Amino acid sequence: MLIAIARRLNLLIITLFILCLASYVLAFLFPGDALTNLSGIPALSADQSHQLQLMYALNEGWFSGFWTYLKLTLNGDWGVSLNSQTPIFEDILKLLPASLELSLYAMVISLVVGLPLGVLAGLKHRSYTDMSILSVSLTGFSFPVFWLSLLLILIFSLQLGYLPMSGRISLLFDIPHSTGFILVDILRSEMPVKDAALFDALRHLVLPTLSLSIVTTALVIRLIRRSVVTVYASDFIKAAYTKGLSHSQVFWRHGMKNALLPIMPQLAMQFTVLLTNAMIVEVIFSWPGIGEWLIQAIYQRDFPAIRGGMLAVSAVVVTFTISVELLVRILYPLNKRQFYAQT
């Protein structure tokens, strides 16, 4: 067990290291001056440029250059954005929670809806219930996210006018920034109109979350259904029935555990799919998250920002994936051979 944990931690550190290396190399591959790409400060005078060179240790060979970069990165000095000249790291810290919040709620909804439906379909394999759940999920699965978002805006914001079409919260409310998760921030703030603000934030959340979660829900349903069908066809479920256990006893004691645990990593993987989709949705709904920011940066060829954004997003994804895998490894007592065969 300790070895497994050590291996995963090792993997995590090495992957993050490689990500840093890649982001460093990118600064040299991007068009323009490497120094500008690293720092985000367009070199004005020879003196300033010299100072930056010293800071990034560029003339001491690539190794110590990278070493200095690594130290700076770990210290949170990611340079400044070319366009706004604000520190990138702080921007990311401010924006990333908004994206995480959106993806998190979408994930929760996908699981809350997808889990019971998937289990139901799996238990009623090949029945009409199964067929209808499967076809609905196939339909949901086939929607392109951007099209779905636009459609939802068209119907609920423009036609019916029920829900707002962009932003996180109405500009009337001034929410102090503390955690970056807007619902948490509202609850922690001492505003007189807390309820109204909360309601407004929720209304803003509905459409982006919905358009994000439909695709993931479909995926979750299919994953769980397949797993339940496989487990219920296996010998040990049959054996549990021959012991005289009732349907619910078999379901809770033997069925669910074996159906869900092996697909936990795959389920968690959906979160990274969500994060990617969230970028698209953020642009459409002008959601002030990392995705929208990154895409703006790409439009404006803001290379330091692109570098930082990619580093941040990939670091989140990698860390998340590896921690889930570790968690499953601790919970699920399979032998090594089976475990590696499965993943």
Partner 1 sequence: MPMLDIKNLTLEIDTPMGWVSALDKVSLSIDTSEIRALVGESGSGKSLIVKSIVGAIPERWRVTADRMNWKGNDLLGMSGNQRRAITRNEISVILQNASAALDPSATLREQIEESIPSYRLTKGWFWQRRQQRLDIAIQELHRVGIRDHNLCLSSYAHQLPEDICQKFSIAMALVSKPKLLIADNPTVGMETTTKVQILKLLTKLNKTQGLSVLFVSHDLLAIAAMANTMTVLYCGQTVESGSIEQVKRRPLHPYTKALLDSAPSFRRDLPPKSPLSCLDGTIPTLQHLPIGCRLGPRCPRAQRECVKMPATRHIHGHSYACHFPLHRDKP
Q: Smallest distance, Å, CB 336 to partner 1?
A: 10
Decide whether 31 or 333 has the Cβ nearer to partner 1.
333
Contact letters for partner 1, residues 98-127 (x by CB under 8 A): ----------------------------x-
Note whether 341 binds partner 1 by CB under 8 A: no
Q: Does 50 bind partner 1 (CB under 8 A)?
A: no
Residue closer to partner 1, measured from CB, 17 or 252: 252
Beta carbons within 10 angstroms of residue 208's beta carbon: 26
Q: Which residues within the stretch 259-288 sit at the binding site for partner 1 (CB under 8 A)?
A: 261
How far is the C-alpha of 55 from the C-alpha of 68, rounded, in Å? 8
Q: Residue 242 interacts with partner 1 (CB under 8 A)?
A: yes
Judged by CB under 8 A, the chain residues 156 through 215 that form the site for partner 1 are none
Tokens of 176: 């102090």
Does 235 engage in binding with partner 1 (CB under 8 A)? yes
* Interaction between residue 234 and partner 1 (CB under 8 A): yes
Q: How far is CA 211 from the centre of its chain?
A: 15
Report the residue from 253, 319, 323, 343 that binds partner 1 according to the rule CB under 8 A. 253
Hey, how many other C-beta atoms are within 10 angstroms of the C-beta on 133?
20
- The distance of closest approach from Cβ of residue 255 to partner 1 in the complex, given in angstroms and rounded to an integer, is 10
Q: Is 252 in the site for partner 1 (CB under 8 A)?
A: no
Q: In this chain, which stretch among 199-207, 227-235, 272-280, 290-298 interacts with partner 1, using CB under 8 A?
A: 227-235
Tokens of 23: 């982001």
Listing DSSP states for 28-84 in one string gives HHSSS-HHHHHH-----SHHHHHHHHHHHTGGGHHHHHHHHHHHHHHTT---B-TTT
Candidate list 110, 213, 258, 277; residue touching partner 1; CB under 8 A: 258
| Other Cβ atoms within 10 Å of 134 Cβ, number | 18
Of the candidate residues 31, 161, 192, 244, the single one contacting partner 1 (CB under 8 A)? 244
Q: Is 87 helix (H, G, I), strand (E, B) or coil?
A: strand
Task: Name residues whose C-beta falls within 8 Å of residue 139's C-beta, 6 or more positions apart in sequence.
Answer: 218
Task: Tell me how far apart the alpha carbons of residues 255 and 257 are, in angstroms, rounded to a whole number.
Answer: 6
Examine residue 248 and tell whether it contacts partner 1 (CB under 8 A).
Answer: no
Task: Verify binding: residue 334, partner 1, rule CB under 8 A.
Answer: yes
Span of 36-44, 94-102, 112-120, 241-249 interacting with partner 1 by CB under 8 A: 241-249
Question: Is 50 or 247 the residue whose CB approaches partner 1 more closely?
Answer: 247
CA distance 84 to 78: 14
Q: Which is nearer to partner 1, 159 or 246 (CB)?
A: 246
Residue 285 amino acid letter: F
Encoded tokens for 206: 């509905």
For tokens 């009623």, name the residue: 124
Residue appearing with tokens 């998937």: 118
Per CB under 8 A, residues contacting partner 1 are 126, 233-236, 238-246, 249, 253-254, 257-258, 261, 332-335, 338
